[in-house]
Amino acid sequence: MNTPRWGLTPLGQTQRGQAPLALQGPGTVRGGQAPLVVVLALWVAGAAPLAWAADGVPLDQVPPLPERTLLFRAEQTFGERGKIGGFALKPSKYGAYEDDRVWFRGPGGEPPPHEAWRFQYKKAPGIPFCGTYVMILGDLSRYSTLTFWVKGQRGGEAFEIGLNDTISNKREDAVFAGSIYRYLPRGVTTAWQQVVVPLEDFFGPDLSRVYSLVFNYNEEGSGAFWVDGLAFHRAVLVDRAAQIERQGYLVVDNFDHSDLNLLGRKTNAFKRLPSTCAVARVPAARHGAEGRGLRLTYQKEAAGWCGYYTLLNQIDGDYFDATPYKAVSFLVRGGAGRETFEIGMADKNWQTIGDSVKAGPVEKYLPRGVTTAWQEVVIPLADFGKLDFPQMGSLVINFHQQGRGILDVDDVLLIRKTEQELLQEWDD
């Protein structure tokens, strides 16, 4: 972003120069079920890499799976802690092996020579998928945080981070916390960086029965990177609330690297025929010189409905507490101009019935309406009426008038109340 919003640091600098922050957010189950043609084509035996982090334990010190954990025969035969492997649908490819030429040497160069995990991938366009994994086979229920060190061969390597428990592994459907960019805002570079992931971000898997850590290559292209020093910590190492307080807002989504938003929640179009809405994250829809934006291609007929939603809550889990926030903000432009839509939000009750409370049409907040130039839409949360803001579920774009068009959206924020505003509410 080139211009400041709400008198804060310009968003383009913040999103690509600071961590895109998320509240206490377990992630949601990603609906990417792998077909049965997945082949576990590569297994590499060996000890898990070392761990260097205060109060962390390496993989080999994690408690084993609980007794009587049900495993398929193949899981028993091939599953061994610390093994690495992968999956792919041709023409996508992957590689996974232990490399004794590259490893993290620690803050003071103290670890002895050892082997790091090297993963490489070639993600083809379209449906063909690929990914790699590390076998955990352990009980992580006593831990709060997962950390590891990562270094790219060229930099810019992109992947989603997921966990499989012993149930989701059988249906080949890992739970993803989001893109590596959620945890490294500048992405993977050619220098070693530590990745810190709260285990609560993986909402869904049984942490007492974790089968594997998954790296899913969801962006087209190729790359290679090393992982070292995998560790698990009882301490909570990320204070997101303090980070948001310092920054002044929460980035809900910038659409750059994952179909999950930056809270780790699901996003998608909704429709009822004959009305339709298609969703794409593409560079052509971005605001600024880097990344991607959201492109909505819609056709609203006299019958049916269509639009887009981004979840704030965990599926079958906790709802999102929006009480520290005063407004929602996003950037918008039209393919031709004069596109119209409503902005809605749903709390627990409205989400249960599959609807939302609308603050009004976009023209209420953009007096000239949508144009082909980027404009900021800022909606006070009070405009959504008597919602249960401690239990919020979603933010919605609803195409309510008959017509067709293209709408680009970028940089969805929740603007935090100032300390003075919060104290005033307390006094009231």
Q: What is the pLDDT of residue 173?
A: 74
Mean pLDDT value across residues 321-334: 97
Please write the tens of the pLDDT for every residue from 159-177: 999 999 888 777 777 888 8
Asked if omega into 274 is within 30° of 0 (cis), the reply is: yes
Element (H, E) at 346: strand 342-347
Q: What is the pLDDT of residue 243?
A: 85
Query: CA 52, CA 194: separation in Å to the nearest integer?
Result: 10
Q: What is the DSSP letter of 7?
A: T
Please write the tens of the pLDDT for every residue from 44-89: 334 444 555 557 899 999 999 999 898 888 888 888 999 999 999 9
Q: Does domain 23-233 have CATH number 1.10.490.20?
A: no
Output the CA angle 362-276-219, nearest 5 degrees.
90
**Phi, psi dihedral angles at 61 (to 5 degrees):** -100, 0
Do the domains 23-233 and 248-427 sit in the same CATH topology, yes or no?
yes
Q: What is the pLDDT of residue 409?
A: 98
**Phi, psi dihedral angles at 92 (to 5 degrees):** -65, 150
Please write the tens of the pLDDT for every residue from 265-306: 899 999 999 999 999 999 999 999 988 999 999 999 999 999
Count Cβ atoms within 10 A of the Cβ of residue 126 and give its class: 0-12 exposed, 13-18 middle, 19 or more buried.
Answer: exposed
* Residue that is written with structure tokens 């990562």 in the block: 150
Q: What is the pLDDT of residue 52?
A: 56
Average pLDDT, the chain: 85
Q: Note whether 411 and 345 are within 8 A (CB).
A: no
Task: Name the CA dihedral angle for 299, 257, 6, 425, rounded to a multiple of 10 degrees.
Answer: 90
Query: Does the CA dihedral 58-184-42-199 come out positive or negative?
Result: positive
Which of these ranges, 15-24, 151-160, 246-255, 358-367, has the smallest mean pLDDT? Answer: 15-24
Q: What is the pLDDT of residue 417?
A: 94
Q: Note whether 26 and 182 are within 8 A (CB).
A: no
CATH of domain 248-427: 2.60.120.430
> Per-domain residue ranges for the chain?
23-233, 248-427
Helices (H), 248-392: 348-352
Query: CA 35, CA 282: separation in Å to the nearest integer?
Result: 26
